[in-house]
């Protein structure tokens, strides 16, 4: 029997007073996404897209080799902002 694995997991949330700062908010959202991938039997995550606008963070992820954390999101957003 074959178990289907997701090919993408998306998460979107708004920064609020539930988090002490923006970094804690990003950590929380990354942790939520990582838990879902682990449930699917996938250890690493690849960021397919990310957007932080008006205190709303959207993360679109796929299976990958690296852990999903605040530094990965920051790097992805910085690279996305650079002119092509």
The pLDDT of residue 57 = 96
CA–CA distance, 35 with 40 (Å, rounded to integer): 9
Domain ranges of the chain: 9-81
pLDDT tens string 37-78: 999 999 899 999 999 999 999 999 999 999 999 999 999 999
The pLDDT of residue 83 = 80
**pLDDT surpasses 70 at 4:** no
The pLDDT of residue 70 = 94
Burial class for 37, CB neighbours closer than 10 Å (0-12, 13-18, 19+): buried
């Amino acid at each position: 029997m074959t178990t289907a694995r997701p090919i993408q997991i998306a998460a979107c949330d708004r920064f609020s007073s539930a988090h002490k700062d923006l970094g804690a908010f990003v950590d929380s959202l990354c942790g939520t996404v990582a838990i879902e991938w682990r449930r699917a039997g996938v250890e690493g995550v690849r960021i397919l897209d990310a957007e932080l606008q008006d205190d709303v963070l959207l993360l679109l992820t796929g299976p990958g080799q690296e852990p999903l954390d605040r530094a990965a999101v920051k790097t992805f957003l910085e690279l996305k902002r650079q002119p092509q």
